[in-house]
Chains A and B, each alone.
Chain A
Amino acid sequence: MSENTTRASSPSPVGHRPHPAVEALRGGLRAIWGNRKARIGMILLALFILVALLAPLLAPYAPKDNSFDRNLGASAQHWLGTTAAGEDVLSQLIHGARISVIVGFGAGSISTLIAVLIGLTWGYITGFAADVVNFVVNLFLVIPGLPLMIVIATYLQNGGISVIIAVIAITGWAWGARVLRSQTSTLRNRDFVQSAKFSGERAPRIIFREILPNMTSIIAGGFFGSATAAILAEAGLEFLGLGDSSIVSWGTMLYWAQNSNALLTGQWALLFAPGLCIALLATSLTLINFGVDGISNPRLREGSTGR
């Protein structure tokens, strides 16, 4: 029964496979790792996550310990100096990574989840219901994001980090939903969706079991994109003083540095260090996104396109 050679695009092992989801995850990570830019991004991100996890061990002092002299420059005790309130900048920086990583992944996941739920359903259904969803999504798209965020954040002031995450997720899902919707509506006309209907599958299962796995790349890309946006938005909100100014994050560090005119006192590290960290974390996610295209399309893997 050897009907011609198989058209296997890659010589995958034919033997027993582990669970398909595990296999897919492993394959996805391998695809990302295969891209040089993405590899740098993954290493960077791993560093940040490690720092965030081990913050209490790594930080020389407690982040809110203000028992030191104020406005100190860099020294052996305080590598990056102290703040106007007399806290150690390096310890704050290390602890601040926790907030950014949590917000990035939290808000990124929630808004991606909303985008997937709405985008895929929207792309699959037709008729009046689709028009209703269309209206709602358009509403979220035309409302300017930053003002809305500011309004909600001021309304729910001092609700802690979870409020920030919620605000960013609510304002950030609409664009992703639109992208996923257009992809879904091209996939829904594919033969395998038609034939799933013929095997008696119901709509939810077709959407989330047949169509969704075919969009892994686009969803993963959307996730890293919105995580980046969430990290930047969180820093922005905190910098404007709209978040919880009692917590220690890179955004609040910038806020307090600005308040105490850190640049005028020559304490560049107060502004520069958190700013650089935000930029590096965002960069690491963006770099990973370069490799995401290769997850579900081997042709886009680096080196295989002849570039």
Chain B
Amino acid sequence: MTSNHPAQQAGPSGAGPSDVGPPEADPSDVEEILSLQDVSVVYEPVGAAPTHAVRGVSAQIARGEFVGLVGESGSGKSTLGFAITGLATAPARIEKGRILFRGRDIASMDQDSLRSQRQGGFAMVLQSGMNALNPVRTIRKHFHDIFAAHRHVPRARREERAAELVGKVSLGPEVLDLYPDQLSGGMRQRVTIALALSLEPQLMVFDEPTTALDVMVQHAVMDTIRDLQASEGFTAILISHDLGIVLESAQRVLVMHDGEIVEDAASADILHRPRHEYTRMLLSHYADPRAEVVTLPGLEDRAVLRSDDPSDASAENPASSSPEPADPSAEPPDPSAARSAPAAPAAPPAPAASSDGASSRRAPVSRLRSGGTELRLQGVSKVYPAARRSGRAVRAVDDVSFTLEPGGATALVGQSGSGKSTIAKLITGIERPSEGTVHLGDTSVGDLGRSGLRDLRRTVQMVFQDPYAALNPLNTVEYTLARAVMNLTDVRRDGARRRVRELLETVGLTPVEQFTGKLPHQLSGGQRQRVVIARALACDPQVIIADEPVSMLDVSLRAGVLSLLRDLRESIGVSLLYITHDLLSARLITDRILVLHDGKVVESGPTARVMRAPQDDYTISLLDAIPNPRRVLTP
């Protein structure tokens, strides 16, 4: 679909160009709604070199199609989305090429005709769409603003139409009376979709519509989008970094890489017969955490759980729908394997640890420390008092007990609001438990004073979720690490400098000299997260708490960071508390798992067993919420 066909603007009636290509057998019923012809978008910031974000993209989208646009960050997918909807603003500029929407070039439209065509034309739903609502106006007013601006709904029908629209996104008419802050993130995103729908667009561009939402909500919102597309018949372009989500929804997928479309094929073809190696690389990072053996490139399954395992005999073989017959990741053709290679020179699955229950105790022999420190939570609860007199006290954590063995790895899993981050705060002493105790060896964390907490930092360290926020943008890598070394250990001057280099080597940022002087913005997300991990390691901690350490990273970078975390555990015997909503990564790097729901532990046990034979309904619904294209597309 990369043929450039010139001279087409002479189609005032928007007649479907019939000269496009072989797939369009009958031009009368397959009308082309959007045509990209060799489109290039360039960012030209003042005083900096221009960046070519989109380079010569050509594509045709037929009316009523559901097309996915997939790529990692920096691939230009959002830039293209903005260009399509006429939202590209300086410093971005459409350098060349044409974007024809029903035969009309979008680039040539002025602001006013752009505005008026939004009704019945094209609309966009943004990633942060839930923040696009004005907090001081009710939802009803948002609808009425749009109706008033376009006057396409008669005054008498407006109330009825607004109720109808929120109904379409599975909300009741009562939300019209509410203010945005009274709605949850998922509800707000539904409202923005309804607002976009109110103009009856023929083309909707969804830019990462669910990325900022919780896993479970994500699933439900995507269902709504799919149903709407089917019932309303608009053409949809779904932009996402998550190939899983896109494959579940879209009929056709465009894969973008470095500003170019590298593959354009039907979803089933992308899944079963990916042609481009970049597509194959993206695909290789999906796996079903319920499978018997879970492998990602650079991350082999460690404690392989055999069904003949005595400890697992009670759990009947789960009805895992697709037991991964031909794993596409068997021979990873991607550069990420080489990427994680230096970090994982010899880390095959822990040899004899087949019994998962015992593996957490036996496998990671803490050869560096005698004893090590055990982290023990007993009946811990945390109650936040009511913010206002009318409000209710929030019980964020409710009677949670668990033990993290020295050198062990435990996952805390749950959706947002399940209390998993509060537990991290309790363990690190940022918050004190309302009931129960947190013990690190013999120390009770809740009773520590200021200096005690400083000492605690030598034992318990944290890896933050967002590597883009966790590093001070103005400090070099060396400064960041050296401060941690000098604060938490007695090493000074040359020793500290040596230690910084050692840390960078440990986390695989080599050659070290290239990285010491860099500022965070000169590093990629994965490299930044490695710096964050290196800082956590500065004082040889015994416990590392990793709060969603890979959720902000592109899939191709995730495996590297995950395998680093796992290897650290084996090489220096640090124990790991891994907080996540992502069950796949939990399966790969932890031995035990606790599933949290509303502050309570609903299920716990060896990770592999819980994933393969979940007992609690909540665990099952968490597992179901994971996008799995194979489930949908496999007949």
Q: Which residues of chain A have a CB within 8 Å of any CB of chain B?
A: 1, 3-12, 14, 16-17, 20, 24, 30, 34, 190-192, 194-201, 210, 213-214, 298, 301-306
Contacts and interface: CB of A to CB of B under 8 A. Distances in A.
B88 to A, nearest CB: 10
Interface string B438-474: 0000000000000000100110011011100111111
B249 to A, nearest CB: 26
Contact of B476 (A20, A196, A214): A20
Given A1-B508, A195-B535, A16 B488 contact: no
Given A4-B524, A200-B457, A200-B488, A302 B474 contact: no
B332 interface: no
By DSSP majority rule, is chain B's interface helix, strand, loop, or mixed? loop
Given A3-B339, A17-B517, A192-B472, A304 B556 contact: no
Contacts of A210: 472, 475
Contact of A7 (B74, B339, B508, B532): B74
B386 interface: no
A291 to B, nearest CB: 12
Contacts of B466: 191
B535 A199 contact: yes
Contacts of A3: 339, 524-527, 557, 560
A1 B45 contact: no
A21 to B, nearest CB: 10
A82 B464 CA distance: 70
Nearest to A205: B483
A199 B90 contact: no
- The CB with the most chain B CB atoms within 10 A, among A3, A190, A201, is that of A3
B142 interface: no
Nearest to B90: A306
Contacts of A195: 462, 464, 470-471, 532, 535
Interface residues of B, number: 57
A301 B517 contact: no
A1 B469 contact: no
A17 B518 CA distance: 10
Contacts of B521: 6-9
Contact of B523 (A6, A213, A214, A306): A6
Contacts of B339: 1, 3
Contacts of B488: 199-200
Nearest to B485: A199
A306 B89 CA distance: 6
A188 to B, nearest CB: 13
A93 to B, nearest CB: 38
B307 to A, nearest CB: 37
Contacts of A192: 469-473
Nearest to B536: A198
B522 A304 contact: no
B326 interface: no
6 contacts: A5-B74, A7-B74, A7-B521, A301-B46, A304-B45, A304-B91
A199 to B, nearest CB: 3
B47 A11 contact: no
Given A4-B526, A4-B554, A191 B469 contact: yes
A302 B524 contact: no
Contact of A201 (B49, B72, B483): B483
Contact of A20 (B90, B474, B522, B556): B474
Contacts of A213: 472, 474
B522 A14 contact: yes
A7 B525 contact: yes
B509 interface: yes
B621 interface: no
Contacts of A298: 45, 48
